[in-house]
């Protein structure tokens, strides 16, 4: 068996891993490279494997760095099946259509602003390509074993990362020997709201495992309900607004879930809550359809409340006109809007209206990359630039840490040690992590590996 790493090797983007046996060639994930425009474009345009020769693609989950280039590989000639869970299939289609829309908007903008004889910018794919590739999708339920042709079986288990995310265990017959290969995709955390803990597999010959936070420990999951209750009461007292920039997939649904609990417990004043993101709204409908996949705590809540994402006072905003009217409100309200790092989307309009009023509170609930507006708010800079205009930052800025959906070193060690059991793991490849994180994880799990863990570089191949 030969494994070649084409993405998320020494980095945390562009997840793509090729597995080749004497009879099969399949890809684990087909993610978008994200980063500097020119470099990412080059990687996303050119596949290092031949898409026409692939038998299948197995998709771990629907984050863009794992699924984002499925339409691109279809355009390049791939015509095999794409296997994933039903929830991942629905979320992936929404995310890919949104990606195609953003690419079209970017291409129009760049084409207008290029200088000289540069050819027009073109999107990597469009919505027609998304529609065609989604026809290749075949869904597998958790713990349902699927036999792909002769000599290869796959079973998917809950990874606990986002709704529908999957750990994959393959049983592969190659040269007369059965080998057990496990691919983690992105491994989730234990004891987080809504989602199950990652399913503890046991027994593995070959591991392709993520290492995103292999060198750090997350702070304990915060008492988000308590923070939300306190912040909303403070804003209500001051007649201000609460602005919550939130990622559309996962983080928005977490916040709404907590607000629903607070409303049911009569712990909040009567204030309207606006979820102002068409993408978040579409994704929340998927979460509603798959509430049966949520954890035991959510299931107990569902016994008394048939929908975790609806409560008196919440409104899911669709049109731009509705969104603009929120800014005219002269009363306390909660506005949850994308994007999570405040760089684009409707949240930027709300921030422009609210950032200079000391009555308002901006609640940051996710990681903010360097140089983003979200990071500048967290740093409480005196002035922030929105729409190329400087605004004094007078609103109160609060931050809740510890809501990451990725396992940290403690959860990774727990899961990898359980996987190794008494036999150990013969071949371990650590991917989806910066070099420092991957190296730290390699050191911490070395004693459960029969051979030293390998941190592959992009394009490297290994015979196992």
CA distance 455 to 428: 9
DSSP summary character for residue 13: S
State whether 414 and 315 are in the same domain. Answer: no
Q: How far apart are CA 175 and CA 464, in angstroms?
A: 12
pLDDT for 370? 78
Last residue of a domain, one of 399, 430, 449: 399
Quick one: 255 and 130 in the same domain?
no
Kindly report the three-state secondary structure assignment for every residue of 404-415.
CCCCEHHHHHHH
Same domain, residue pair 317 and 183: no
Going by DSSP bridges, is the β-strand pair 145-147/152-158 parallel, antiparallel, or unpaired? antiparallel
Q: What does pTM read for this prediction?
A: 0.92
Report how far residue 99's alpha carbon sits from residue 115's, in angstroms, rounded to the nearest whole number: 26
Length of the chain: 464
Question: What torsion do the CA atoms of 90, 95, 97, 101 make, to the nearest 10 degrees?
Answer: 160
CATH code (residue 435): 3.60.15.10
Query: 341 — phi, psi (to 5°)?
Result: -105, 10
CA distance 441 to 448: 12
Q: Provide the residue range defining the domain that includes 46.
A: 2-217+405-463
CB 67 within 8 A of CB 31: yes
In a 3-state reduction of DSSP, which class is residue 76? coil
Indicate if 368 and 436 belong to the same structural domain.
Answer: no
Assess whether 149 and 295 both reside in one domain.
no
pLDDT of residue 453: 98
The number of folded domains in the chain is 2
Same domain, 50 and 180: yes
Are 147 and 201 members of one domain?
Answer: yes
Per-residue pLDDT of the chain (464 residues), as tens digits, is 999 999 999 999 999 999 999 889 999 999 999 877 788 899 999 999 999 999 999 999 999 999 999 999 999 999 999 999 999 999 999 999 999 999 998 888 777 777 666 677 889 999 999 999 999 999 999 999 999 878 899 999 999 999 999 999 999 998 889 999 999 999 999 998 899 999 999 999 999 999 999 999 988 877 888 999 999 999 999 999 999 999 999 999 999 999 999 999 999 999 999 999 999 999 999 999 999 999 999 999 898 888 899 999 999 999 999 999 999 999 999 999 998 889 888 999 999 999 999 999 999 998 787 788 999 999 999 999 999 899 999 999 999 887 889 999 999 999 999 999 999 999 999 999 999 999 999 999 999 999 999 999 999 999 99
Helix axis angle, 86-113 to 127-134, nearest 10°: 160
My answer on whether 230 and 190 are in the same domain is: no
Same domain, residue pair 158 and 248: no
Identify any residues that bridge with 167 across adjacent strands, giving them in sequence order.
157
Helix axes 278-289, 86-113, angle to 10 degrees: 170
> Is the domain of 129 the same as that of 166?
yes
pLDDT of 367 reads 78
Q: Given 383, 399, 415, which residue is the final one in a domain?
A: 399
Predicted pLDDT of residue 391: 98
Domain of residue 382, CATH code: 3.40.50.10890
Same domain, yes or no: 236 and 285: yes
Q: How far apart are CA 398 and CA 396, in angstroms?
A: 7
Q: Of 352, 384, 399, at which residue does a domain stop?
A: 399
**132: Cβ contacts below 8 Å, ≥ 6 apart:** 71, 74
> What is the DSSP-derived secondary structure letter of residue 326?
H
Would you state the pLDDT for residue 118? 67
Tell me what pLDDT residue 78 has. Answer: 98
Which element (helix H / strand E) includes 65? helix 64-67
pLDDT of residue 116: 66
Residues 341, 228, single domain; the answer is: yes
> Looking at the DSSP assignment, which residues form a beta bridge with residue 206?
181, 427
């Amino acid at each position: 068996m030969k494994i070649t790493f084409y993405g998320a090797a020494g980095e945390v983007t562009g997840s793509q891993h090729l597995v080749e046996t004497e009879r099969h060639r399949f890809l684990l994930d087909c993610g978008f490279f994200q980063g500097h425009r020119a470099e990412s474009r080059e990687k996303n345009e050119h596949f290092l494997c031949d898409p026409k020769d692939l038998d299948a693609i197995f998709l771990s989950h629907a984050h863009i760095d794992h699924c984002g280039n499925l339409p691109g590989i279809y355009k390049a000639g791939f015509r095999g099946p794409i296997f994933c869970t039903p929830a991942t299939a629905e979320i992936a289609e929404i995310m890919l259509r949104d990606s195609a829309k953003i690419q079209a908007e970017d291409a129009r903008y760049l084409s207008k602003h290029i200088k000289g004889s540069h050819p027009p910018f073109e999107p990597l794919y469009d919505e027609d390509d998304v529609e065609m590739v989604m026809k290749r999708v075949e869904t597998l339920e958790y713990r349902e074993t699927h036999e792909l042709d002769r000599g290869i079986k796959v079973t998917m288990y809950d990874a606990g990362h986002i709704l529908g995310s999957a750990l994959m265990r393959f049983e592969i017959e190659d040269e007369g020997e059965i080998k057990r290969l496990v691919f983690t995709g992105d491994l989730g955390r234990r004891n987080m709201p809504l989602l199950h803990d990652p399913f503890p597999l046991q027994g593995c010959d070959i591991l392709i495992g993520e290492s995103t936070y292999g060198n750090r420990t997350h702070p304990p999951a915060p008492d988000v309900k308590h923070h939300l209750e306190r912040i909303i009461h403070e804003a209500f007292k001051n007649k201000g607004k609460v602005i919550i920039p939130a990622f559309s997939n996962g983080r928005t649904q977490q916040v709404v879930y907590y607000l629903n609990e607070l409303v049911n417990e009569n712990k909040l004043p009567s204030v309207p809550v606006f979820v102002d993101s068409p993408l978040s709204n579409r994704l929340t409908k998927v979460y509603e359809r798959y509430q049966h996949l949520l954890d035991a705590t959510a299931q107990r809540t569902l016994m008394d409340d048939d929908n975790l994402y609806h409560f008196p006072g919440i409104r899911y905003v669709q049109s731009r006109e509705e969104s603009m009217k929120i800014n005219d409100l002269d009363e306390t309200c909660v506005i949850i809007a994308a994007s999570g790092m405040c760089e684009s989307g409707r949240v930027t309009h709300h921030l422009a209206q609210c950032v200079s009023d000391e009555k308002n509170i901006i609640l940051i609930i996710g990681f903010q990359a360097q140089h983003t507006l979200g990071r500048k708010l967290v740093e409480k800079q005196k002035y922030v630039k929105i729409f190329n205009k400087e605004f004094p930052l007078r609103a109160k800025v609060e931050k809740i840490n510890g809501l990451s959906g990725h396992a940290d070193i403690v959860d990774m060690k727990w899961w990898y040690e359980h996987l190794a059991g008494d036999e150990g793991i013969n071949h371990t490849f650590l991917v989806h992590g910066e070099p420092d994180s991957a190296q730290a994880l390699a050191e911490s799990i070395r004693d459960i590996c029969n051979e030293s863990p390998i941190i592959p570089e992009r394009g490297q191949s290994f015979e196992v």
